[in-house]
């Protein structure tokens, strides 16, 4: 009797498990169907990999101009700097975005959709122009105007019109394919040849091991801030306890030189690029990786 009861329970559990698997498969299939690609490609004749130049016009704000170079995407206006790759990739994805709905412009008042004037105008290679309008309050998709036809697409950017210029600057200190030939800190100089077979450490009495020196150079090559800010006029020459005005000079294998100044080591490591007018912020834990042992600018 007891074994029969256990058998029934086992069969019941097996039945419930089978039902769960079937229902799970049904839900997965349904979700897959719902997430399947639908809608028409916004610019089917434009290949993102072929794009060389992008401009963004945003009302009275300075026009943003980006161009593709051998060193990657750069900003040429209103400042000259390397571009934030994540934002550039989002821009490059726009032509292949899918229009969920299309409307005839003749039947619509463009002003009501934020398209006259537009919130922003994105131009690719001066040939393809996309006007960005308001966000639909119900489905949170964005109205855009392309070739005299209005579309609804995903809102990939949030409020593109209000993204400050500084956010378009790369968070990386150096270009992605940079190779450091020489690194000069206030107490240390590292030099290496192109083959990375020879590495000079100055002063020569330094106990720094060669492998660690190589890692320090790699860490500088890959250094990426968690945020950047514009230099404020009231702290342009900031110097206080725990702060530093030590210079960092990096020479790449191409001969290009990048100069930074260590502004702070606590509570964050802050490196200043005076040429760009920006400060790069890093967690203080990265100091050892970059071999920064900054001296206080205050004299005892």
> What would the pLDDT profile of 170-193 be if each residue is shown by its tens digit?
999 999 888 899 999 887 888 876
Place 248 in a pLDDT band, splitting at 50, 70 and 90: very high
User: Quick check: 186 and 296 in contact, CB under 8 A?
Assistant: no
More confident residue, 283 or 204: 283
| pLDDT of amino acid 215 | 87
Q: CB-hemisphere CA count at 13 Å for 294?
A: 28
| pLDDT of amino acid 108 | 72
More confident residue, 35 or 272: 272
| pLDDT of amino acid 201 | 65
More confident residue, 213 or 247: 247
Q: What is the dihedral of CA 217, 241, 280, 276, to 10 degrees?
A: -100
Task: Give domain limits for the chain.
Answer: 42-168, 180-290
Residue 270 pLDDT more than 60? Answer: yes
Give the pTM.
0.75
More confident residue, 16 or 299: 16
Residue 238 pLDDT more than 60? Answer: no
Q: What is the dihedral of CA 206, 211, 214, 220, to 10 degrees?
A: -90
pLDDT in tens, 20-52: 444 444 344 444 434 345 788 999 999 999 999
Of 257, 259, 243, 216, nearest to 298 by C-alpha is: 243
47 CA to centre of own chain:
21
Average pLDDT of the segment spanning 54-68: 94
User: Quick check: 136 and 152 in contact, CB under 8 A?
Assistant: yes
Residue 292 pLDDT more than 90? Answer: no
| pLDDT of amino acid 75 | 96
**Cβ burial, residue 281 (10 Å; 0-12/13-18/19+):** middle
| pLDDT of amino acid 197 | 47
Average pLDDT of the segment spanning 51-70: 94
More confident residue, 82 or 235: 82
Mean pLDDT comparison of 31-40, 90-99, 155-164, highest-scoring range: 90-99
Length of the chain: 300
Residue 99 pLDDT more than 60? Answer: yes
Tell me how far apart the alpha carbons of residues 115 and 93 are, in angstroms, rounded to a whole number: 21
| pLDDT of amino acid 278 | 95
More confident residue, 248 or 36: 248
Average pLDDT of the segment spanning 199-227: 78
Tell me how far apart the alpha carbons of residues 290 and 299 are, in angstroms, rounded to a whole number: 24
58 CA to centre of own chain:
20
Of 184, 293, 204, nearest to 249 by C-alpha is: 184
More confident residue, 69 or 196: 69
Residue 273 pLDDT more than 50? Answer: yes
Q: Lowest-pLDDT range, 144-153, 215-224, 289-298? A: 289-298
Please state, rounded to an integer, the average pLDDT across all residues of the chain: 80
């Amino acid at each position: 009797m007891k074994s029969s009861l256990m058998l029934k329970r086992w069969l019941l559990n097996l039945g419930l498990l089978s039902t769960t698997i079937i229902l799970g498969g049904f839900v997965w299939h349904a979700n897959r169907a719902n997430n399947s690609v639908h809608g028409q490609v916004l610019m089917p004749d434009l290949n993102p990999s072929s794009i060389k130049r992008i401009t963004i016009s945003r009302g009275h704000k300075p026009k943003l101009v980006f161009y593709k170079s051998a060193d990657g995407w750069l900003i040429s206006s209103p400042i000259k700097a390397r571009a934030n790759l994540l934002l550039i990739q989002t821009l490059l994805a726009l032509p292949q975005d899918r229009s969920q709905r299309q409307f005839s412009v003749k039947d619509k008042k463009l002003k009501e959709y934020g398209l006259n004037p537009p919130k922003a105008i994105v131009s690719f290679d001066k040939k393809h122009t996309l006007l960005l309008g308001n966000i639909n309050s119900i489905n949170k998709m964005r109205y855009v105007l392309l070739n005299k036809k209005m579309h609804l697409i995903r809102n990939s950017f949030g409020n593109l019109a209000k993204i400050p210029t500084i956010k378009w600057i790369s968070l990386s200190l150096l270009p992605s394919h940079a190779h450091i030939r020489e690194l000069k800190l206030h107490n240390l100089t590292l030099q290496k040849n192109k083959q990375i077979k020879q590495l000079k450490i100055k002063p020569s009495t330094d106990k720094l091991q060669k492998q660690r020196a190589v890692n320090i150079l790699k860490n500088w090559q890959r250094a990426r801030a968690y945020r950047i800010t514009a230099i404020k006029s009231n702290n342009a020459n900031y110097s206080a306890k725990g702060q530093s005005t030590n210079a960092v000079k990096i020479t790449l294998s191409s001969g290009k030189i990048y100069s930074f100044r260590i502004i702070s080591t606590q509570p964050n490591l802050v490196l200043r690029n005076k040429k760009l007018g920006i400060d790069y912020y890093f967690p203080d834990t990265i100091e050892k990786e970059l071999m920064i042992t900054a001296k206080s600018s205050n004299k005892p």
